[in-house]
Structure 1
């Protein structure tokens, strides 16, 4: 028990291995690039020096709007059901306790 009182855990090791590492593909790509450089073949891909920037902003806004509309519709129907249920229960309560109506 006394040994646990002064126990300090050691630091945890961080080791990450790449998930999709294919050394054969890297060798093949390097070899193809070397051959293309020797033959003077230019890739069709033109690099203008600008970093790649995907157009994600508009896609998120569109999807949020779609979900907001469907959730708003679900909320509205839920509220309508609740109001109708309360009205029916109020009517039944009134007829049962305050009316001369007998079953």
Structure 2
């Protein structure tokens, strides 16, 4: 017979089984990559603003935009691989 005490005990036992553990090196690497990408996009904004006000040379703007384009292509490629892996997992029979 299921009583409220049994349910509470079972809940407490199950809760510790599903709590997230400490983040591993993969999570930290992804987090660092996301921060680097955000910093790169911020750099592009700053250089573009500087180019519009005449404080930054056009060559520097073009170089920064090319770096940002490469970073964006990398992020999109990683996103595509993650989505593809997720879809593959969804297709697996249970």
TM-score by length of 2: 0.36
> Whose helix proportion is higher, 1 or 2?
2
Larger Rg: 1
Report which structure shows greater RCO (CA 8 Å, sep ≥6).
2
TM-score by length of 1: 0.33
